[in-house]
Structure 1
Amino acid sequence: MAEAAGSGAQKGSLQTFMDEGGLTAAVLGKPIAAAIGRLIGAVADIPAAGVDNLAQRIRDDTEARSVVKRAIAQAAATRATADEALVDRAVQRWGYDRLRKQENVEAIAAETLLQLKEDPPKDPEGPAPSDDFMNFFQAHAENASSEDMRTLFARILAGECRAPGSFSLGALQVLSVMDKQLASAVQTVRPWVNNGDYVLFAGEFHKGDRLAPLLILEDFSLIRLGMLTKPLKLDDEGHGGLVYGRRAIILHGAPNAEIAMPAATLTPVGRQIMALCPEPTEVPDFDLIIAAAKKVMGIQKVQVGDFSHRSAEGQVFIANWRDT
């Protein structure tokens, strides 16, 4: 996206979108305009010329500051405190907090708009995200200060604008408490996930270093460990496929057999969190996944290759295949 001429806004910033046409329903569609407008605290259905810089408005909103100062002074009086400097510091802290949160939500709004511009909703005039979702989303999004967290929140809001109800409040709750340890575990496990549904829980994946990130995900109810299985129905030729990003495994067994795949199964919230991660281009532990597949009862042969496509019946096809 080109930066607006004559604008000092950073490329991709919310001000850039305002300069290019405003947060108007005509540009965005009413549901998206309403959601973005609600997030940033602006009236969405007005042109760019009518939207003040929100961060500056927070700094210059003397009436709001006066109201806050009176409220804090009243609280101080109730506590028998007459320290005017204390009241001033409290007001200043309120202003800084408001500004910080506004910067966070505007960064998320700008990234959301960028994603929606690249992949717009099929129905721009379809339903908007629910009030419950937006209330919960805003409460957590305003504290997303890192670029990674802002990007994740933007993906969620863009997805919710495309298909309201696709992201649960439970998944938002997990995202709001995500720390480096949990984020690292998600990133580690993501390439192991077959068909966005489960991890083949065999071989090296139920012990040692590979088990550790799975246990972290289990602590946050993102995955279920234990003696669980997922059925894999082989076709008339005795073939079944597992897909890992751009790689795939073809399992060979008896025709029409149903194979019980030992599985660490993602929960609904776990599937939503994993869906936020980019499709893996590489699978670092692919050889271990192949070894685990060979240990599954009923599997006679394993082939690997590059994932090509699925048939209408769900059959997996691979290219550049080889026997293992």
Structure 2
Amino acid sequence: MDAEPPLNSLLAATASALPEAATSMKTSALSSIVEFLGSGSAYLGAWMRRARQGVDDTTEARSIISKALATQLAEELKADTVLVNSLTEQLAPSYVRKQKNKLRVAEEAIITLVINGEGASETTNTETVDLDWLHTFERFAEDASSENMQSLWGRVLAGEISKPGRFTKATLRFLYELDVHIAQDFEQARPHIIDGKLFPHDEAVPLDLTLRLEGAGIVTRAGGNIVTAITLSDVGHSSMSVGHMAAIFMGSSNKEFEIPILPLTKIGLELSELLPNLHTEKKLRDIAASLKGVRNLDAVGIGPVKIVNGLEQVPFQHLEIIWQNDEFNLEKFVANVQKSPAC
């Protein structure tokens, strides 16, 4: 088996690989990352200070303390070489592994902050990450050995730096203990989450899937089925937008219809923040199709959103009908809408 590279080499190599754009990050953001890295921050801190002399120099203080502790420990243990050798064999590989993992997580956090344009201005957010939260995060993140988990923990750290308090300790523990099957379930359900609500339907988000998500604490039924009520306008339509597309619900004026939903829990909401937002047509198509036969709805279509006088609108000429009742006539419906004083 190949020997692990010296810890110094690992730290230096990872630090030098970090993006140059990170030198523009604000002091509070860098300080949180240096605090997270602990004793491994010497190389990272030195590299960053080439461009940011204003960063608090915690590295020097840590170095002084470490040297003093090392000297005292050496005096106490130098007579017991067997114990020293045993401790070295047991602790050194684990320490190197954890430091390497933490550096990879820090790198992912910096890349995320730079890509998102966050953490660069001292005036945008003066809050700092809570040290107690950071120490809890460190205990979990240092065990992240896979690239996927290092990337995930990096996004968590970046999110907390950009908005302290974004992620609770409960979510940190959930992520640490996350089961691969639950992760797959959430990934399957994610395209059907809009504004913190999961829209279940038999095909894409079946009952057994929602029950597993509920058991994991990602969604809640609050003791029973939950619905959201949508009231159609005076001219008989309402809309739901996702990105640049919207679903148009059509029926009788001022009538109300219901859509079954499962609200995300606090953990579910925070988990969804870590993943890219999927503004896809498929979300709307699936929701539209699942509403066929719902009382007070005559038709549902989808189309591109157009901003008119600051308001979102979907031109009816660009509307694609997903389903409609036999008696529904789109041309007649549009004509009635256009006659309305509100149009």
Do they superpose with TM above 0.5?
Answer: yes
- Check the 8 A contact 2:246/2:284 in 1, yes or no: no
- Check the 8 A contact 1:108/1:154 in 2, yes or no: yes
Q: Does 1:221 align with 2:224?
A: no
Matches of 2:161 and 2:250, distance apart in 1? 42
Alignment-derived partner of residue 146 in structure 1: 146
- Check the 8 A contact 1:121/1:161 in 2, yes or no: yes
Cα separation, partners in 2 of 1:285 and 1:123, compared to 1, 3 Å: closer
Cα separation, partners in 2 of 1:173 and 1:244, compared to 1, 3 Å: farther
Letter in structure 1 aligned against 2:196: D
Matches of 2:134 and 2:181, distance apart in 1? 27
Q: What secondary structure is seen at the aligned counterpart in 2 of 1:172?
A: helix
Alignment-derived partner of residue 207 in structure 2: 211
Once the two structures are TM-superposed, the CA of residue 200 in structure 1 deviates from its matched residue by: 2.3
Q: What secondary structure is seen at the aligned counterpart in 1 of 2:198?
A: strand
Once the two structures are TM-superposed, the CA of residue 260 in structure 1 deviates from its matched residue by: 2.7
Larger Rg: 2
Letter in structure 1 aligned against 2:17: T
Letter in structure 1 aligned against 2:287: I
Aligned residue runs from structure 1 range 112-261, under 5 A: 112-118=109-115, 119-121=117-119, 123-125=121-123, 126-194=126-194, 196-204=195-203, 210-225=206-221, 226-244=224-242, 247-261=245-259
Matches of 2:191 and 2:202, distance apart in 1? 16
Alignment TM-score, normalising by the size of structure 1? 0.73
- Deviations for 1:75-134, whole angstroms, at most 9, x for unmatched residues? xxxxxxx993x8634432211111111111111111111111122247435111112321
Runs of at least 5 residues in structure 1 that lack an aligned partner in the other structure? 1-7, 75-81
Percent identity for Structure 1 against Structure 2: 23
Q: Does 1:96 align with 2:96?
A: no
Cα separation, partners in 2 of 1:233 and 1:97, compared to 1, 3 Å: farther
Alignment-derived partner of residue 107 in structure 2: 110
- Deviations for 1:110-162, whole angstroms, at most 9, x for unmatched residues? 11111111222474351111123212211111111111111111112112121
Cα separation, partners in 2 of 1:258 and 1:105, compared to 1, 3 Å: farther
Matches of 1:267 and 1:99, distance apart in 2? 37
Matches of 1:205 and 1:29, distance apart in 2? 43
RMSD over aligned Cα atoms? 4.1
Matches of 1:229 and 1:116, distance apart in 2? 37
Matches of 1:318 and 1:202, distance apart in 2? 28
Alignment-derived partner of residue 271 in structure 1: 269
Alignment-derived partner of residue 39 in structure 1: 36
Runs of at least 5 residues in structure 2 that lack an aligned partner in the other structure? 1-8, 323-343
Alignment-derived partner of residue 295 in structure 2: 297
Cα separation, partners in 2 of 1:321 and 1:88, compared to 1, 3 Å: farther
Cα separation, partners in 2 of 1:47 and 1:200, compared to 1, 3 Å: closer
- Deviations for 1:53-94, whole angstroms, at most 9, x for unmatched residues? 9xxx9xxx99759949978x99xxxxxxx993x863443221
Alignment-derived partner of residue 3 in structure 1: none
Q: What secondary structure is seen at the aligned counterpart in 1 of 2:225?
A: coil
Alignment-derived partner of residue 319 in structure 2: 321
Letter in structure 1 aligned against 2:186: V
Cα separation, partners in 2 of 1:286 and 1:150, compared to 1, 3 Å: same
Once the two structures are TM-superposed, the CA of residue 232 in structure 1 deviates from its matched residue by: 2.7
Letter in structure 2 aligned against 1:98: Y
Once the two structures are TM-superposed, the CA of residue 280 in structure 1 deviates from its matched residue by: 2.5
Alignment TM-score, normalising by the size of structure 2? 0.70
- Deviations for 1:161-199, whole angstroms, at most 9, x for unmatched residues? 2111122222212111112111111111100112x3222
Once the two structures are TM-superposed, the CA of residue 256 in structure 1 deviates from its matched residue by: 4.1
